[in-house]
Amino acid sequence: MHRVSAQEFMPEGRSSVRTLKEAAKHCRGCDLYANATQTVFGKGPAEAALMLVGEQPGDAEDQTGQPFIGPAGKLLDRALKELDLQREHLYITNVVKHFKWEPRGKLRLHKNPSAREVAACRPWLEAEIAAVQPTVVVCLGATAARALLGAQFRVTRQRGELHPGPNGCTVTATVHPSSIVRIRDQKEREQAVNRFVTDLRAARTCAGL
Ligand code: URA
Ligand code: SF4
């Protein structure tokens, strides 16, 4: 059976990030566009050596159109600061480009994207990797790791492993920063931040930064 995906909204041939971003504004490759404010496309230099891939935009990202600017983004910024890495030098994106949520009173609660939605949106991520040609791609959390490293991949056991990826890049994975934000115990949270920083440091080294 033919199913719609982002592919039908993709420009012909290899495109720049700018062209892709423009086209993605009009994507209807799955139903998620209908309840979201806007497409949140990846952001960063056209030739970044290091690419970070999250799951999908949250509430703050949906409202502003920028990836990783809410609580998870703040934690990411803290980790990048510890590494002396400037966010502006990285390409930061998500597997799924629209915010999926359900109402809970006045709140919009994040809902995990389905496998079908991940598959539908995947062509944008593939096109971003083809356009940017990063040396290293870091999957942040299980959704990104599943999309780029396969359904069998387990972040808890396999974080930090280096795998060959598309376009000759190296793909690795670590936890999602929002999983760290959710840790209540301060000491445990600090340990989790340190491990996250360690994973990102290894990825940076691998990318030659
Ligand atoms: N979580 C993500 O996975 N991506 C974002 O952009 C924000 C939160
Ligand atoms: Fe298109 Fe992805 Fe948005 Fe679905 S989530 S409409 S595939 S951009």
Mean pLDDT of 86-101: 98
Rounded CA separation 195/204 (Å): 14
Q: Is 123 in the pocket of ligand 1 (CB under 6 A)?
A: no
Q: Is 122 in the pocket of ligand 2 (CB under 6 A)?
A: no
Mean pLDDT of 33-45: 98
Note the pLDDT of residue 2.
65
Looking at residue 114, what DSSP letter applies? P
Residue 138: CA atoms inside 13 Å, Cβ hemisphere, count?
28
Mean pLDDT of 63-86: 97
Note the pLDDT of residue 13.
87
User: Model's pTM, two decimal places?
Assistant: 0.97
By most ligand atoms within 8 Å of CB, the mutation choice from 35, 117, 125, 143 for ligand 2 is 117
Rounded CA separation 106/145 (Å): 32
